[in-house]
Amino acid sequence: MPDDAGFRLDATRAKAKVRAMAQTLGRRRLMTAGGAVALVLLAIWGGNWFFVGRHMVATENAYVRADISLISPQVEGYVRSIPAAENQLVHAGDVLVEIDPTDYQSRVAAAHAALAEAEGSRASQQAGRALAAADVARYRPLAERGLLSPARMQQLEIQARQAGGGAAASQAAVEAAQAQLAQAELDLTRTTIRAPIDGVVGDRQVQLGQLVRTGAPLMSVVPVQSVYVVANFKETQIENFRPGQPVIIRADIAHNLRLRGTLDSIAPASGTEFSIIPTDTATGNFTKIVQRVPVRIRIEPGQEGLQLLRPGLSASVTVDTRE
């Protein structure tokens, strides 16, 4: 019996050792497999970084922009109507604001009358010049034969020159009247203010019946269909930038919104150079700061989600410098 108990103890110990060896071998194999997988993943990541990732240059300092048209009157007057409402979609040529045209219609009528008077005076002066020139031509042969006194001939020539001068002055008066009429008609057309571009009306400040002055801001037209992105990259990032490189745009307005774009152009100077008070580095307290250069990104049209973009919204962009 003691021998049987010892045999069973040895067998149990042997089984335990076998299990321990199997577990150790399994752990080693698992570690080896895990290490191999990690190496493969590391190789994939490294390859992706070498061939793709290192060529991707990104920034979150980017904003949606548009070439907004500020609407201002070119003539002054009282606002008669405002067909364009706030946030309304308008097309180029649509009427935005109408100024009372009564005064300008009167100016056009007065300019027409002044032109008619000037033209009548010109006709009279031209007739007088023609008559004076005819007298000179008729009497000169008589003066040459001594049948007309030199004093009389000189008087006729003076009258002809005076008539010619009067005709020239009357022609100048007609041209001035024509210019005044053209300006009056132009001012009359300017009482109707039209949209210069397609877009959406925003920042409407004008009110019905308001007296508006030349150049006063009335509203803005925002071309929401023609937005673009301005990304401010560090000066250390733009070395390999070239117009035409593809860009991925992520707009903060929608979490999953990704748009395709193209690098359009690079600003000719850093952003600080265009500020109201440019940085002066010629001082004793100089601190080197990495500057940022604005880069304009053109967005490809027709993409889903493009209609969500509005000027001023934040975005992040990634430029693919492989191309």
Could you report the per-residue pLDDT of 155-179, keeping only the tens digit for each? 766 776 765 566 677 788 888 889 9
* Mean of pLDDT values over 72-94: 96
Residue 129 CA from chain centroid, whole number: 57
The CA-atom distances, in angstroms, between 86 and each of 94, 202, 215, 274, 319 are 14, 6, 20, 32, 37
- What is the reported pLDDT for 133? 72
Q: Which of 23-32, 183-192, 252-261 has the lowest mean pLDDT?
A: 23-32
CA–CA separation, 261 and 317 (whole Å): 9
Q: Give 177-227 pLDDT, tens digit per residue.
A: 899 999 999 999 999 999 999 999 999 999 999 999 999 999 999 999 999
What pLDDT band is residue 1 in, cutting at 50, 70 and 90?
very low
CA–CA separation, 319 and 240 (whole Å): 10
Residue 283 has pLDDT above 70, yes or no: no
What pLDDT band is residue 311 in, cutting at 50, 70 and 90?
very high
Residue 275 has pLDDT above 80, yes or no: no
Q: Which of 51-55, 192-196, 256-260 has the lowest mean pLDDT?
A: 51-55
* Mean of pLDDT values over 245-253: 94
CA–CA separation, 93 and 83 (whole Å): 12
For the full predicted model, state whether its pTM sits above 0.85.
Answer: no
- What is the reported pLDDT for 125? 65
- What is the reported pLDDT for 53? 55
**Cβ-based burial of 320 (10 A; exposed 0-12, middle 13-18, buried ≥19):** middle
CA 31-32-36 angle, 5° bins: 115
